[in-house]
Structure 1
Amino acid sequence: MATEQNQQAQELEQEQVEQDTVQTQADTEQAEVSVEALEEKIAQLEGDLKLEKARTANAVYEAQKSVERIQRESEKHKDTVLEKFAKELLETVDNLERAIAAVGEEKTAFSEGVELTLKSLLTTLEKFGVVVVDTANGFNADLHQAVGIDPNAKTNEIGNVLQKGYTLNSRLLRPAMVMVGA
């Protein structure tokens, strides 16, 4: 009976070993499957991360470009509005200059008030970039509009200025109307 019990014990032991072996193989296969599955999942997540980083970088780039475009458009609009406003004020400058010319040499409180008003207006315009076009250095077709010939002036020299010209931030706002020597 002891032999029989030993034999049964050995058979149970052998069955246990076989079950452990099968279990170990199953665990190993499952571990291999798990490792492979995890490696695939990691690769997939890394790819997703790269894609999201690229999308984020693209979105940031587009946002920066939009901000720059809006700033350019805003500056252009501001310049256009300032140009229109300055052109309208030039008529007032011309009228004040005509009033001073009409008074002539006679100085009155009224003529001095007009001169001070003109000076104040020109100072304000200069603060915003409006400057009188230079007519002392000869004729320049980009800055001057020749409206006639002055027989007393030298060739390509400005003889008489009929209306002053102005620039706004180095851009021509209104050309100077001049008489040029032939």
Structure 2
Amino acid sequence: MRETEEKVEVEVEVEASAEGDISVEDSVVEESEGEQVANEEDNVEVLEPKKEEEDFKAKYLYLAAEMENMRRRYEREKEGLIKYGNEKVLSGLLDVVDNLDRTLEAISSDEDEKIKNIVTGIEMVRNQFLEVLKNNGLEEVKALGEEFDPNFHEALAQQPAEGKNDQEILSVFQKGYVLNGRLLRAAKVIVVKN
């Protein structure tokens, strides 16, 4: 800023010596122009910190939004792990349920009193087991008598049947299950095709 004032004064002296006479008004104009240049430089210096401040503020807001997005993503992943983390274990337990069902089918028609007591005990264990699975979000896919839905059913065969609608499930080979709304195992079924 000081160099500019000196430069203006030097220019005024040079012009004065070249022209000979210089009026006071001319020197005042020259000085006011010098002050304007100095003020503009001050404004530039003031604007630079404001721009820097705005840049820092924008970066801060961006990072704050990014942190919030990361927190939300973490929460969703955590909920997913809690909700579906036991998927592998429950999937393995479905074979146990299938075996209990097969056992009940095989021995339930026996008329022996001891066998009937065993069947009752197995049914109680099965029901208790299914209740525990249900409490963990596992539900059986409705199949028998329902319309075939490829999202939940796997057709093993098609078979004609009188009095039944096309695409109606005629029989279930293996039950299907859903874990918290997500298909864990599709029901394997035989579908009506007339």
Question: What is the TM-score normalised by the length of structure 2?
Answer: 0.64
Note if contact 2:154-2:187 (Cα within 8 Å) is conserved in structure 1.
yes
Instruction: Specify the code of the residue in structure 2 equivalent to 1:60.
Output: A
Aligned partner (choices 152, 159, 165) of residue 170 of structure 2: 159
Unmatched segments (≥5 aa) in structure 2? 1-34, 110-114
1:51 match: secondary structure: helix
Per-residue Cα deviation, 1:97-155 (whole angstroms, up to 9, x for no partner): 112112214521x3222211211121122222211111232222222212124444633
| Other-structure match for 1:123 | 131
Distance 1:44 1:148, change over 3 A: closer
**Cα distance change on mapping 1:41 and 1:149 into 2, 3 Å:** closer
Alignment match, 1:72 = 76
The C-alpha deviation readout for 1:19-74, integer Å capped at 9, x for no partner, is xxxxxxxxxxxxx8xx9587665434333322221121111111112222223333
**How many Å separate the matches in 2 of 1:68 and 1:42?**
39
- Aligned residue type for 2:169: I
Matched AA of 1:159: L
* Structure 1 range deviating more: 47-56 or 70-79: 70-79
Q: Which residue of 2 aligns with 1:180?
A: 191
Instruction: Work out whether residues 133 and 166 of structure 1, in 8 Å CA contact, stay in contact via their aligned partners in 2.
Output: yes
Deviates more, 1:62-71 or 1:37-46: 37-46
Tell me, yes or no, if the aligned pair for 1:162 and 1:179 is still in contact at 8 Å.
yes
SS in structure 1 opposite 2:184? strand
Question: What is the alpha-carbon root mean square deviation over aligned residues?
Answer: 2.8
Aligned residues: 150
Aligned to 1:141: 150
Given the two structures, how large is their TM-score scaled by the length of structure 1? 0.68
Higher Cα radius of gyration: 1
Percent of aligned positions with the same letter in both sequences? 31
Equivalent of residue 92 in structure 1, options 78, 90, 96: 96
SS of 2:170's equivalent in the other structure is strand
Aligned-pair distance for 1:181?
2.1
After superposition, where does 1:3-152 map in structure 2 within 5 Å? 36=39, 42-105=46-109, 106-108=115-117, 110-135=118-143, 136-152=145-161
Partner of 2:181 in structure 1? 170
Counterpart of 1:74, as a letter, is: K
Question: Equivalents in 2 of 1:159, 1:137: separation in Å?
Answer: 9
